[in-house]
Amino acid sequence: MKICIYGAGAIGGYLGVQLARAGADVSLVARGAHLAAMRERGLTLLAGEEKHTVHPRCTDDPAELGVQDYIIITLKAHSITGVIGTMQPLLGPHTRIVTAVNGIPYWYFYKHGGQYENSTLESIDPGGRQWREIGPERAIGCIVYPATEIEAPGVIRHVYGNNFPLGEPSGEITPDVQRLADLFVAAGLKAPVLDRIRDEIWLKLWGNVCFNPISALTHATLDVICTDPATRALSRAIMMETQGIAETFGVKFRVDVERRIEGARKVGAHKTSMLQDLERGRPMEIDPLVTVVQEMGRLTGVATPALDSVLAMVTQRARIAGLYDGISTPSDPRALAVA
């Protein structure tokens, strides 16, 4: 089984070490100092008191790797369109794409049913390129719950969590998704195969859509956002708007808003990924975490006044800092095109 991890940063590196230790034929696509360090010294994972180093094949040229059985995309979601061309040599007739990214994935409306079947969303897949050139039929959904970070080039630190729920867009438990889940489990990871993967996508996005932009605007950590009365109320308002949108697509939330906020508060003084990107001068995941929810709200006719205000402010904040390379905010349902 050949597996390519495309975008071997913190999460990709964590997966790379664990899968390699389980005996999988793993290759990693990376760049810069991180790639140079992995080539020279291998890839090291620090987990508590444990230290593990593996030596998988690492490259910045996917053409060297050949056709893969699975490509696990661990890039930031807004970066995927830019690598579609270089990803092509990895794709064979049976290659599966595992979208281990935050937010709504490009394949969301594949096998969805109803009036939005086979639609694409401009905010996450401009021009429908991922849909056309990668293909929704290849996709396996994956939600990333662990927290990891690059401690130094070639060195990944695992902070907490090992849960990677998986699921086919159709809800079927196919041999492909079961084989991948079995490998993840053999690698010491949790990988439940879900028949309603979209519910889990929205459950994670439910927090990201509010906590991430609020943190980027206030520089507050999760415990502060969820404790301060004003930011807690704003988070709740955005989450209620988001829930209204998701439920029009048949999504079911297994916890209520207050429990979700409390869960985030208990994480403690954690900086969201968007705040970390802002502080490190990296483009922020505004479109896949926030703009896409607004776009889906426009599509369904669900008003999003709280989300609209926060989105406008965080987008302007990112533009001033030179950290926004996304699309213009969609203003009407025509932004959604049918593939």
Q: List the domain boundaries for the chain.
A: 2-195, 198-321
Q: What is the DSSP code string of 133-157?
A: HT-GGGEEEE----EEEEEETTEEE
**pLDDT, averaged across the chain:** 93
| Separation between Cα atoms, residue 135 and residue 110, nearest integer Å | 10
**Positive/negative CA dihedral, 85, 88, 90, 96:** positive
Which pLDDT band holds residue 136 (cuts at 50, 70, 90)?
A: very high
pLDDT digits (tens, 9 = 90+) for 45-94: 999 999 999 999 999 999 999 999 999 999 988 889 999 999 999 999 99
Averaged pLDDT for residues 35-49: 95
| Separation between Cα atoms, residue 145 and residue 162, nearest integer Å | 7
pLDDT digits (tens, 9 = 90+) for 137-165: 999 999 999 989 999 999 999 988 999 99
Strand order in the sheet with 50-54: 50-54, 43-47, 155-160, 147-152
What is the CATH number that goes with domain 2-195? 3.40.50.720
pLDDT computed for residue 267 by the predictor: 86
Q: What is the DSSP letter of 239?
A: H
- Is residue 272 within 8 A of residue 312, CB to CB? The reply is no
Reference 106, options 65, 148, 75, 69; nearest CA is 75
- Is residue 6 within 8 A of residue 29, CB to CB? The reply is yes
Q: Does domain 198-321 have CATH number 1.10.1040.10?
A: yes
Q: Which residues are catalytic?
A: 204
H/E segment holding residue 72: strand 70-73
| Separation between Cα atoms, residue 317 and residue 310, nearest integer Å | 10
| Separation between Cα atoms, residue 188 and residue 98, nearest integer Å | 18
**What Cα–Cα distance (Å) separates residue 86 from each residue in 16, 81, 106, 129, 141?**
20, 10, 18, 13, 21
pLDDT digits (tens, 9 = 90+) for 262-283: 999 998 898 998 999 999 999 9
pTM recorded for the entire structure: 0.92
